[in-house]
Structure 1
Amino acid sequence: MPEQTPDPSVELTTQGVGPWKGEPPTDEFYDPELLAKGDSRNVIDRYRYWRMEAIVADLDLTRHPFHVAIENWQHDMNIGSIVRSANAFAADTVHIIGRKRWNKRGAMVTDRYQHVRYHTDVAEFARWAQDAALPVIAIDNVPGSVAIETFDFPEACVLLFGQEGPGLSAEALAAAGSVVEISQFGSTRSINASAAAAVAMHAWITQHVTF
């Protein structure tokens, strides 16, 4: 798809943009309703007025080869924020292990643009990762874990995160080929699960994306 930008006469705001001014474009990726009424979605300027399906298709051309997996046994409120970070860092797919229901408020509707796959339990997820030839990298501060600052992330892999509080289950840790911890220097035992996920994803970015 050719890159398009909004009409320069339209003033951009944090709330989005108003109706397209002037003759509307006819390219197939534009949404006629958004062109007519304006676009208040939380999307970058490149995707203003684009149809949702067109945005997903365009993102699919440049997604990174790392995946994100989250255990969801306790309806963790952090899952939405992790999905939002996965979208920001262009993760391939988010895998939710356990309950299919999760609080989407923190995702800020980014789940519409991010591939999400569900697995009934850790065993099902582990079989999928094995079939996909993707090493599973668990992120948790447990005995024997490796400092994230010294760990070399595989280019294609799955970053696995646990619940806020209890962390990863014993089954999830057993399914991982490596366990990585984020170095901490304060008094708290652990950092917020969604913050840990963002740190880990960005660590992958710094190792594999050329700027």
Structure 2
Amino acid sequence: MSAERVEHLDDPRVAPFRNVRDRDLQRDHLFMAEGRFVVRALLTQSLYDTHSILVTPAAHEAMADVLDGRTDVLLADQQVMNGIVGFDIHRGCLAAGIRRPVPPLDAFLDTLPPERPALLVLLEDLTNHDNVGAIFRTALAFDAAAILVTRRTCDPLYRKSIRVSMGAALRLPFIEIDSAAHACALLHQRGFTTLALTPAADALPLEALAPTPRLALLLGEEGPGLTPEALAGAGARVRINTGDCVDSLNVAAAAAIAIHACTPRRYHRGP
């Protein structure tokens, strides 16, 4: 079936795209993917189903290989699309995805093969969408199994988080947790080592740690860092050594260094 034309701003078919607000979408169990690269990821590599897609003729032509034959594609001229959304969509492509239920941590851990290495990344109260998106991208690149997020952490499925992650937030599962400390206790029961990243001078240097195949890295918000409860709940506190002129790193940069150092690939011995 070819794409269906949208000519008017009040067309009921474009309701999910009208004056896009992430909080409103979340209440409707939806999220918004923006841009050709990210929408392509949603359609071809994602954990999530698609509700509908809104594209300009140019974007439709450029993405014909993944859009042809779909029954959920809406076609609108650029001016009409901008009017529907409420701002200029320079990439000419939006897709509404359908959120899926988030499993509790213990249920997710049951799905991890006990004989294989696993890396988890725990984000405590990170409120910057750029940082969250960047961390998802790094975590996917280096084979993390999932991201754990406290309820104060910004939504990984917010449009900006997805865009900054280059679609990684659509491919890597995330688990909501009530607190980092409680999550650490459960992870310890399941055989995980938990490491809290901190710039504190008395923390262990990251490179000095012995390799461990089942590991969770804890990262806190820039500025305050991890809460005292999270630091106390972790099995060890670790730091990334920097030069004297810089006392700490952006949390996304610190995450990239630590995740790369702890990637499960180092334990891979074949199928």
Question: What interval of TM-score do these two structures reach, taking the shorter chain for normalisation?
Answer: 0.5 to 0.7
SS at match of 1:160: strand
Partners of 2:230 and 2:172 lie apart in 1 by 23
1:159 matched to 2:217? The reply is yes
Q: Percent identity?
A: 26
Cα 1:141/1:210, change in 2 over 3 Å: farther
Structure 1 residues 23-34: aligned runs within 5 Å: none
Structure 1 unmatched ranges of 5 or more:
1-14, 17-33, 41-59
Structure 1 residues 1-80: aligned runs within 5 Å: 37-38=64-65, 65-72=118-125, 74-75=127-128, 77-80=130-133
Q: Looking at CA atoms only, which structure, 1 or 2, has the larger radius of gyration?
A: 2
Structure 1 residues 197-208: aligned runs within 5 Å: 197-205=255-263, 207-208=266-267
- CA contact under 8 A between 1:68 and 1:93: conserved in structure 2? yes
Cα 1:201/1:39, change in 2 over 3 Å: farther
- CA contact under 8 A between 1:134 and 1:157: conserved in structure 2? yes
Deviation, structure 1 residue 37: 1.6
Which of 176, 186, 193 is the equivalent residue of 2:234?
176
String of CA shifts for 1:179-202, please: whole Å, max 9, x gaps.
111110141221110010010011
Partners of 1:76 and 1:201 lie apart in 2 by 19
Partners of 1:154 and 1:87 lie apart in 2 by 19
Aligned-pair Cα RMSD in Å: 3.0
Structure 2 unmatched ranges of 5 or more:
1-35, 38-59, 68-111
AA in 2 matched with 1:168: L
- CA contact under 8 A between 1:73 and 1:98: conserved in structure 2? no
Partners of 2:243 and 2:136 lie apart in 1 by 27
1:88 matched to 2:88? The reply is no
Of Structure 1 and Structure 2, which has the larger fraction of its residues in helix?
A: 2
Cα 1:73/1:88, change in 2 over 3 Å: closer
Of Structure 1 and Structure 2, which has the larger fraction of its residues in strand?
A: 2
AA in 2 matched with 1:156: R
Partners of 2:243 and 2:269 lie apart in 1 by 29
Correspondence for 2:95 = none
Partners of 1:191 and 1:151 lie apart in 2 by 20
Partners of 1:112 and 1:74 lie apart in 2 by 19
Which of 127, 152, 160 is the equivalent residue of 1:99?
152
SS at match of 1:78: helix
Cα 1:190/1:39, change in 2 over 3 Å: farther
Count of paired positions:
159
